[in-house]
Amino acid sequence: MLQAALRSGAASRRCVFEVFARRLPDGRRYGVVAGTGRLLDAIESFRFDEAEIADLRSRGVVDEATLDFLTGYRFDGDVWGYAEGDAYFPYSPILVVEADFAHGVILETVILSILNHDSAIASAASRMTGAAGTRPCIEMGSRRTHEEAAVAAARAAYIAGFASTSNLEAGRRHGVPTVGTSAHAFTLLHDDERTAFQAQVDALGASTTLLVDTYDVTEGVRTAVEVAGTGLGGVRLDSGDLVVQAQEVRDQLDSLGATSTRITVTSDLDEYAIAALAAAPVDGYGVGTRVVTGSGHPTASMVYKLVAREDDSGEMIGVVKKSKDKQSVGGRKYALRRLDAHGIASAELIGVDELPEDDGEGVGDRELLVPLVRDGVVVGRETCTVAAARERHEASMAELPRSAHQLSAGRPAVETVFVTETP
Amino acid sequence: MLQAALRSGAASRRCVFEVFARRLPDGRRYGVVAGTGRLLDAIESFRFDEAEIADLRSRGVVDEATLDFLTGYRFDGDVWGYAEGDAYFPYSPILVVEADFAHGVILETVILSILNHDSAIASAASRMTGAAGTRPCIEMGSRRTHEEAAVAAARAAYIAGFASTSNLEAGRRHGVPTVGTSAHAFTLLHDDERTAFQAQVDALGASTTLLVDTYDVTEGVRTAVEVAGTGLGGVRLDSGDLVVQAQEVRDQLDSLGATSTRITVTSDLDEYAIAALAAAPVDGYGVGTRVVTGSGHPTASMVYKLVAREDDSGEMIGVVKKSKDKQSVGGRKYALRRLDAHGIASAELIGVDELPEDDGEGVGDRELLVPLVRDGVVVGRETCTVAAARERHEASMAELPRSAHQLSAGRPAVETVFVTETP
């Protein structure tokens, strides 16, 4: 495609590409944009090195003119996007890329890979932290997803309100708080549970969390308190009927005087299981598989579409595929989140070729697209740090109507409205 | 966990860890092991560099004794595993790791991440290539998964019978054949469809594949043949009712004299959609989202469990968690696939602490665990090349009973039988 466009000359036409999702995963009320910070790094360092060029040449993938273009490739265009951590809805213009065709089209895969993956994780994680309320969620799913996806997943979950991760590399690379845990293997390694608990307390102090369900939970809890004392930091339950068991363990801990010992539960938790544990005396949730796989929706299904391009006279014109089953709207988009008098979102307003007008009511509408890259230079890094994105997620959640936070299947919590008639 | 085990001295106990899946994804008949080749590279290069050690120290993650251990870490144990590309069933001992606790436990996450991800993709891809029969499947889902997971997914899909990928890096890194495609953006970039097609044919010749559904399919096909001639290589359909449309396009191509022009279909295909197109005149399938996300099952749910360890007298003893809801079997496993007189698998035989005996009937039973690492040195690389794994997948599929290849939900096609009584 690139080779043909370079040859026809059309590759130099100025173009606008947009990232959007035609729909949210079935029944979801909102999505969460994540990955933007990682994407800015990826765009900035997007290059073809000598080994890659040599490989393309030796396999005859593209011609010499295209190899020349790739060798000198530096993204030189402009990018705007929803700030990382913000909510999005169907057709929200999550990213807008303006560049010539060749420079813009080549970024499609890396842009979509990062946004589709990270947003899928953040969108699922956000529902979990919403269901958990003030109780912390710990991301511990690295072993159930690709080894690099795991690092990105820990980052996305943290942006969406998770308290910490078991992925140490996410701590190093992205500053996500990390926590350790002991597995059943640690208990089984020792001659008996007491020896294992003693070894853990000796090494980490009484404030550690002991895994008490390797053999018999009641005996495990008793042994744990005997070994660590009533100052034991926590116990972890990883199997069984957690609602019933958490209450039994709480009662037992209290009766032993370990009233401040915390109970962490794990074992295939998702947002529904977390919600079902709301009334149980649980102090924290360890979430694995379901958060790193997007809780049933491992991709955000975002697409990257050409929506406008230069014509022969140098004018930008909207373009759109005529599809019966895949609705798209041509032309460059602008977006505003309409907020009512209480600061609650009531509509996602999308304008074609112009920013929708603030209606002057309520607390003022919020413009959603922020500058990220200008003439190839990243300008939006501060708005997409992990810390900024995490704060924005919290603020964005507070702005959504209550219906957004229902776990039951429903329609998007905020309706998307195109305020400009398309040509 | 590692810090406590180093301190208690238990870290030096010889251990056996095993990777297995307690169940297949709902209704699936078999799974496909993938990732082993990538895993051998990962084990061989598993190190903690200065920056990583400094990070762990500065964040106070572990103590100095543990940092010393990590600084000098080299895996020095033994690994056996199912050869990459082979089928597996519930409780198949897919990987067996023998090492001291410290050296073995630390590999848990990387082992599971690679095997869970790659096996999930290969297991889904295998059902797709099975449904496609002799028609080629093209992996084109990179943009719907994490950017590094995409490269691994292309590799896994190829092992499971896909013909090629659109991921160029998978071509470079793993030797997977690559193909290009043109998108709707290419057509929309040009002033009209004819100009776009002409540009593509000028650059790539008449043997290229033209995307004909940007505007009107009938007109698109007519224009395509007018531009490229009856020697046009192929057309691609990416929307609409593909069963009906493929027939209409075939009829039109034939009536225009383009009888050898191939029809490739794309558009959210999965194994069921591919099966539904079996009677349609389709020459190839482009599969995206559903293959890279495991067609509903993005992880293989494999676990890494301590199953045996040294006791104080130096004897190896089987260990197992006593769980009501998560059945496991202690002790080192050996596995044999029982084959009948026609070479068809009739059972997955698992022995504890000993290899099940060949019953001497049929074509001879097949031992499933092959040596992969000995004393820290990779010895199984040749059995896990991409080419070898792809061949093994094909052979392993031919060995399964016919019921394995039904797409409808069912039980595992081969029953897992523990031939040794557990203590």
Rounded-to-integer distance, Cα B212 and Cα B208, Å? 12
The answer for B 122-141 residues in CB contact with A (under 8 A) is none
Q: What percent of chain A has pLDDT over 90?
A: 93
Give, in words, the CATH class of B2-121+297-418.
alpha beta
What ipTM was predicted for this assembly? Answer: 0.96
Contact at 8 Å (CB) between A309 and A15? yes
Q: List Cβ neighbours of A281 (8 Å cut-off, separation of 6 or more).
A: A246, A247, A250, A263
Mean pLDDT (whole number) for A16-40: 97
Q: Residue A395 corresponds to which tokens in the numbers above?
A: 């603020």
A295 touches chain B (CB under 8 A): no
- B178 contacts chain A (CB < 8 A): yes
Say whether A306 and B188 touch across the interface (CB within 8 A). Answer: yes
pLDDT at A246 over 80: yes
Per residue in A107-147, pLDDT (tens digit) is 999 999 999 999 999 999 999 999 999 999 999 999 999 99
Q: In sequence order, which residues have a C-beta less than 8 Å from that of residue B49 and are 6 or more positions away?
A: none
> Where are the CATH 3.20.20.70 domain residues in chain B?
135-292
Whole-number pLDDT of residue A110: 98
Choosing among 3.30.1330.120, 3.40.50.2300, 3.20.20.70, 3.40.980.10, the CATH entry for B135-292 is: 3.20.20.70
Cβ burial of A408 (10 Å; 0-12, 13-18, 19+) is exposed
Separation CA A263–CA A252 (nearest Å): 12
What is the length of chain B?
Answer: 423
Is A112 near chain B, with CB under 8 Å?
A: yes
CATH label, A13-38+77-106+321-418, candidates 3.20.140.10, 3.40.50.720, 3.40.47.10, 3.30.1380.10: 3.20.140.10
Confirm or reject contact between A180 and chain B (CB < 8 A). Answer: yes
The arithmetic mean of pLDDT across residues A231-258, rounded, is 96
Q: What's residue B364's pLDDT?
A: 87
For residue A315, how many other CB atoms are within 10 A of its CB?
10
Res A359 pLDDT > 90: no
Q: Which two tokens stand for residue A293?
A: 């796989």
CATH 3.90.1150.10 fits A122-292, yes or no: no
Q: Is the dihedral of CA A340, A342, A345, A350 positive or negative?
A: positive
Question: Could you please report the per-residue DSSP string of B60-114?
Answer: T-S-HHHHHHHHT----SEEEEEPTT-EE-TT---EEEEEEHHHHHTTHHHHHHH
Residue A48, burial from CB neighbour count under 10 angstroms (0-12, 13-18, 19+): middle
Tell me how far apart the alpha carbons of residues B422 and B316 are, in angstroms, rounded to a whole number: 14
Say whether A114 and B146 touch across the interface (CB within 8 A): yes
The predicted pLDDT at position B423 comes to: 45
Taking residues B146-165, what's their average pLDDT?
98
Chain B contact for A392, CB < 8 A?
A: no
Q: Do A180 and B1 touch (CB under 8 A)?
A: yes
Q: Which of B223, B261, B260, B215 is nearest to B240 (CA)?
A: B215
Q: Which residue of B has its CA nearest to A301?
A: B144
Q: Is the pTM of this model over 0.95?
A: yes
Interface test with A, best of B45, B118, B188, B211 (most A CBs within 10 A): B188
d(CA A88, nearest CA chain B) in Å:
18
Q: What is the mean pLDDT of chain A?
A: 96
Q: Which residues of B touch A8 (CB under 8 A)?
A: 190, 195, 198-199, 202-203
Q: Give the mean pLDDT of B12-33.
A: 97
Could you identify the residue written with the tokens 């890094």? A381
Q: Within a 10 A sphere around the Cβ of B19, how many other Cβ atoms? A: 27
Q: What values do phi and psi take at B237, rounded to 5?
A: -115, 130
pLDDT tens, residue by residue, A366-420: 999 999 999 999 999 999 999 999 999 999 999 999 999 999 999 999 999 999 7
Interface of A with B in 69-88 (CB under 8 A): none
Cβ distance of B204 and A240 shorter than 8 Å: no
pLDDT for residue A316 is more than 70: yes
- Closest-CA residue to A162 (of A183, A136, A181): A136
A–B: how many Cβ contacts below 8 A?
248
Say yes or no: B143 contacts chain A, CB-CB below 8 A: yes
Quick check: A168 and B56 CB within 8 A? yes
Report the greatest alpha carbon distance in chain A: 83
pLDDT tens for each residue of B223-271: 999 999 999 999 999 988 999 999 999 999 999 999 999 999 998 899 9
pLDDT of residue B92: 98
The residue behind tokens 């399919």 is: B217
pLDDT tens, residue by residue, B356-402:
998 888 788 999 999 999 999 999 999 999 999 999 999 999 999 99
Nearest chain A Cα distance for residue B160, angstroms: 18
State whether residue A98 is helix, strand or coil: strand
Residues from chain B that touch A21, judged by Cβ atoms under 8 A, are none
Full DSSP string of A190-218: SSSHHHHHHHHHHHH-TTSEEE--SS-HH
Of A150, A182, A322, the CB nearest to B113: A150
Contact A4 B204 (CB under 8 A): yes
Is the pLDDT assigned to residue A423 strictly greater than 60?
A: no
Residue of B nearest to A174 (CA): B55
**Chain A interface includes B289 (CB < 8 A):** yes
Q: How far apart are CA B140 and CA B132, in angstroms?
A: 16
H helix intervals, B215-353: 217-228, 242-255, 271-276, 289-292
Q: Is B295 helix (H, G, I), strand (E, B) or coil?
A: coil
Q: Across the interface, do B61 and A168 touch by the CB < 8 Å criterion?
A: yes
Touching check for A194 and chain B: CB below 8 Å?
A: no
Give the angle subtended at the CA of A249 by the CAs of A247 and A251, to the nearest 5°.
Answer: 70
Assigned token pair, B205: 């010749």
CA–CA separation, A394 vs A402, rounded Å?
14
Interaxial angle between packed helices B386-399 and B147-159, expressed in degrees from 0 to 180 and rounded to the nearest 10: 50
Task: Tell me where in chain A the CATH 3.20.140.10 domain(s) lie.
Answer: 13-38+77-106+321-418
